[in-house]
Structure 1
Amino acid sequence: MRDRLDEALRAGRLDGLHAVLAARDGRLLLEHYGSGEDHSWGNSLGIVEFGPETLHDIRSVTKSVTALLYGIALADGLVPAPPEPLLPHFPHHPDLAADPLRARLTVEHALTMSLGLEWREDLPYDSPANAEIAMELAPDRYRYILERPVVEAPGTRWSYCGGATALLGHLIAGGTGQALPDYARDTLFEPLGITRYEWLAGDDGVASAASGLRLVPRDLLRIGELVRCDGMWRGQPLVPADWLRTMLRPRLRTEWGAGYGYHWYLESVAGHDLAAGMGNGGQRLYVLPDLDLVVAVTAGNYDHPEQWRTPLAVLDQVILPEVG
């Protein structure tokens, strides 16, 4: 596996790769760190020599972590169940709740990114025309999300929307009485032994549920191991197994054909089922249950139109030939 990785690096097939870790049945098979230019939420960090203690943006893999936190809070009765109407949980916006088109929205529509609202994130993330950036700049992020023009019936189609995740983060914070990073620390990070992390926040101080988490790759791998092990960690249940089954059941199709559950992508690679968290720049958390395999990838190809190539090459050309 190491030889294949070195050959792929020399051949230029892994441009922008910062780190890759792979574990099978909890045993580390591969751990590699490189160097290169990096950014944190668009702010240049210069050339970084990556290592086991180097924090890295995981960008939209944060969404998949937020889905895990939602399941923990739901099991404790602190957040609304997926079928419940969404707008009553945002009482500061009664005018939006009174709109019959928006009154149809449920929590599940947020979990599956099928709100049916106008939302464009196919623009660079340094542009205020990008809906996620506009949300961060808005005086009230939740009004900005919920008042977007209605373009189709909710539940009709998957449409990428960081605003959907922001709504879930608000439900978690409101239901638990804790800021999202604090709730994550108490229920997920500390039990997993994750002690070094950052959770970036907007100007309003609200941590970004959609893209703000920074982890070291070993800890990203731990989160994948938790999913692989049905929510169990060292004999203790952290995430309910029934939530994981619900979360990883495909409900809609993405524009490129992957299945989508509750903030996790569901595909088949080389004949193996795969659940994935994916983030801008090539951040990936892959879980392949039938192979007992978890792979964590960080990379620096932010906003590049073919950023998907490097993590997929790592999986296809380096790891699966060994274990698949």
Structure 2
Amino acid sequence: MGSQILPARGQQQPTFPSDQFATEVIRRLDQAVAERRVWNIHGLLVLKNGEQIVERYFEGQDRERGVGDLGTVKFSVETLHDLRSCSKSIVALLYGIALQQGKVPAPEASLLSGFPEYRDLADEERSRVTVHHALSMTMGMDWDESSLPYADPRNSETAMDNATDRYRYILERPVVDRPGARWNYCGGATALLARLIAKGSGKSLHDFAREALFDPLGLGPTQWAAGPDGEPFAASGARMSVRDLSRIGTLMLSGGQLNGQQIVPSEWITRCTTPVVSSDELRRYGYQWFLLDVAFGKPKGWAAGRLERMWLAQGEGGQRLFIIPALQLVIALTAGNYGMEDQWIPPTRVLREIVLASVP
């Protein structure tokens, strides 16, 4: 505790009682693990005002995207971990960097115009789909990866991975709804964004990520899993340590800046975290980032406690990056509860019953 990791831009010396906060987080965490109120979590790192408050690692069952079961892993600071769909949020940051460099189309541009190799798919309906619709998952295309498990070949994400040409598979989906009308979870949208980055930069997605984001942030080793066709699992293939995942969160809080260097344009951070559409009754969606309000603190009378906006990257199995700007709070969490119906419970309890409940 007490080490500084990527302090937020313009921050003052924190007066927050970090030792008290850390002690309470650890107490609640140990109790929740002992009582199995949270299970198979692998790593947890909490930052407040850029200060490392808690960093804990566990032992548990894990899998690797594109590889399979890894058995029991003893996790540590250096251990790489699947981010699964947290990868989508990283792709959004990469798109903003590539846009500033003039390497990808603007959000207002036609999506299909960025893929002239598939001009045979052009029709009136697809011409209305823009890059903005891909960024916000409002393309209106026929896509189902929510009602079917990923092990089911009918799942659209799985079918995309198994297709001879994954990008043609996505772009040829029928447009069944007005683009922009409603949100539909779609890893294919992220794959198209990543492909535009690769086409514009002349680099693989991972190579561009290292050059434009990971290396400037000082991240350690990273990986990005790919399919048998050599194309990256853009929506779910990133792997890095918990500590490095937390650095992504702190970069977001600093408006995309580190040590005076603007890594991600600040206006792009704003755009990613500005609600475009509701994803369900609680969450909104920006550009590949979930946005919601969280309550914490002891209620007074009829009040439910303090309510603040949270930015969220989330991945299958329990991977989470929680960012609460008003508190300058970053929570990075990895877990191994893949394919489980109750996989949402451990990260939700870590957030609400362990971290937020410990805020003085």
Bin for the TM-score computed over the shorter chain: over 0.9
Aligned residue number for residue 208 of structure 1: 233
Query: Whole-Å Cα distance in 1 between the matches of residues 222 and 230 of structure 2?
Result: 17
Query: Whole-Å Cα distance in 2 between the matches of residues 282 and 140 of structure 1?
Result: 30
Secondary structure in structure 1 of the residue aligned to 2:128: coil
- Give the drift of 1:41: 1.7
**1:223 and 2:257 aligned:** no
Aligned residue number for residue 20 of structure 1: 44
Secondary structure in structure 2 of the residue aligned to 1:92: helix
Aligned residue number for residue 341 of structure 2: 305
Secondary structure in structure 2 of the residue aligned to 1:296: strand
| Superposition TM-score, scaled by structure 1 size | 0.98
Query: Whole-Å Cα distance in 1 between the matches of residues 51 and 359 of structure 2?
Result: 13
Query: Whole-Å Cα distance in 2 between the matches of residues 323 and 90 of structure 1?
Result: 49
Q: Is the 8 A contact 1:111 1:168 kept in 2?
A: yes
305, 317, 320: which is aligned to 1:281?
317
CA-to-partner distance for each residue in 1:155-197, whole Å, 9 max, x for gaps? 1110000000000001101111111101100011111111311
Query: Whole-Å Cα distance in 1 between the matches of residues 150 and 239 of structure 2?
Result: 17
Identity %: 50
Q: Is the 8 A contact 1:198 1:213 kept in 2?
A: yes
Secondary structure in structure 2 of the residue aligned to 1:72: helix
CA-to-partner distance for each residue in 1:77-132, whole Å, 9 max, x for gaps? 111110111111111111212x1111111000000001111111122222211111
Aligned residue number for residue 89 of structure 2: 64
127, 136, 143: which is aligned to 2:152?
127
**1:10 and 2:58 aligned:** no
Query: Whole-Å Cα distance in 2 between the matches of residues 10 and 112 of structure 1?
Result: 40
**1:41 and 2:77 aligned:** no
Aligned residue number for residue 107 of structure 1: 131
Aligned residue number for residue 176 of structure 2: 151
Report the residue type matching 2:104 in the other structure: V
User: 1:179-258 alignment to 2 at 5 Å?
Assistant: 179-258=204-283
Report the residue type matching 1:25 in the other structure: N
Secondary structure in structure 2 of the residue aligned to 1:119: coil
Q: Is the 8 A contact 1:19 1:33 kept in 2?
A: yes
175, 180, 200: which is aligned to 1:175?
200
Secondary structure in structure 2 of the residue aligned to 1:103: helix
Query: Whole-Å Cα distance in 2 between the matches of residues 129 and 53 of structure 1?
Result: 36
Q: Is the 8 A contact 1:188 1:238 kept in 2?
A: yes
288, 291, 299: which is aligned to 2:327?
291
Report the residue type matching 2:111 in the other structure: L
- Give the drift of 1:207: 1.4
Query: Whole-Å Cα distance in 1 between the matches of residues 282 and 213 of structure 2?
Result: 31
Report the residue type matching 1:291 in the other structure: L
Query: Whole-Å Cα distance in 1 between the matches of residues 281 and 232 of structure 2?
Result: 29
Structure 2: runs of 5 or more not aligned = 1-24, 296-306
- Give the drift of 1:256: 4.1
CA-to-partner distance for each residue in 1:279-314, whole Å, 9 max, x for gaps? 001100011000000000101111212211111110
Aligned residue number for residue 357 of structure 2: 321
Query: Whole-Å Cα distance in 1 between the matches of residues 359 and 92 of structure 2?
Result: 28
- Give the drift of 1:150: 1.9
Query: Whole-Å Cα distance in 2 between the matches of residues 75 and 93 of structure 1?
Result: 26
Query: Whole-Å Cα distance in 1 between the matches of residues 58 and 220 of structure 2?
Result: 23
Secondary structure in structure 2 of the residue aligned to 1:126: coil
- Structure number with larger C-alpha Rg: 2
- Give the drift of 1:54: 0.8
Q: Is the 8 A contact 1:201 1:207 kept in 2?
A: yes
Which region of structure 1 is more displaced relative to structure 2, 103-112 or 305-314? 305-314
Secondary structure in structure 2 of the residue aligned to 1:298: strand
Query: Whole-Å Cα distance in 2 between the matches of residues 150 and 189 of structure 1?
Result: 36
Secondary structure in structure 1 of the residue aligned to 2:63: strand
Superposed CA RMSD in Å reads 1.1
Q: Is the 8 A contact 1:112 1:158 kept in 2?
A: yes
Report the residue type matching 1:112 in the other structure: S
Structure 1: runs of 5 or more not aligned = none
Query: Whole-Å Cα distance in 2 between the matches of residues 301 and 151 of structure 1?
Result: 33
**1:55 and 2:80 aligned:** yes
Query: Whole-Å Cα distance in 2 between the matches of residues 53 and 133 of structure 1?
Result: 30
Q: Is the 8 A contact 1:291 1:323 kept in 2?
A: no
Aligned residue number for residue 284 of structure 2: 259
